[in-house]
Amino acid sequence: MFRFAHIEYLYLLILIPVLALVFTVIFSQRRKALNRFGNPDVIGALMPARSFSRPILKSVLVLLALASLVFGIARPQFGSKLREIKREGVEIIIALDVSNSMMAEDIKPNRLERAKQAIARLVDRLVNDKIGMIVFAGDAYIQIPITTDYVSAKLFLNAISTDIVPKQGTAIGSAIELAMRSFTQQEETSKALIIITDGENHEDDAVETAKLAVDKGITVHTIGIGLPR
């Protein structure tokens, strides 16, 4: 990270083009005065130590020194700085497909277990966030209400299987509707719904339901699990 501790001093850099203009005018007037005094070639022979380039070089060095001085008093700073930031929590609801097809072993050990492992890793990374979980197949059910108790959330997660729902199918729309009712009513809280499924929706209009959730300020993510056939 680069910054200036006193950036207001950089306004002094305006002096550099002003001084450059002053030096230019001075050199021009001196050259005109010498031309009025006599022939430049004759004057050059009479004044062998006279150099026209040396004053220009000195002026350039003066301007560079002034620029360096301005940058110095502005105190350029490099490095990193620790800053304490108040982090606002996010509400996350995970809708997990527990239909029988989630037991397919194209992803080891099977689709459901791999999804549960990914959810467990997500829970381990949460800080000041709330998490809830919905399981669905032919219908949707709350498995974990919105909570900050991550230990209990992982215990309930471990207990999830395809046997906990009585009706088979893939009702993604029902899961979205249940999630919308399960979030808290605090408008300022960021809300996210993560849907993990391995199949198409055949029970309801999941796309329209997802659009309704977005209109209510809920960010909807869909994760497909399983290898392409």
Q: Confirm whether pTM is higher than 0.75.
A: no
What is the average per-residue pLDDT within 96-111?
92
Q: Are 185 and 216 in contact (CB under 8 A)?
A: no
Tens of pLDDT, residues 164-175 = 998 888 889 999
pLDDT band per the 50, 70, 90 thresholds, residue 8: confident
Q: In whole angstroms, what is the distance from residue 181 CA to residue 118 CA?
A: 25
**Range of lowest pLDDT (46-55, 100-109, 167-176, 189-198):** 46-55
What is the average per-residue pLDDT within 130-150?
94
The continuous run of DSSP H or E covering 90 comes out as: strand 90-97
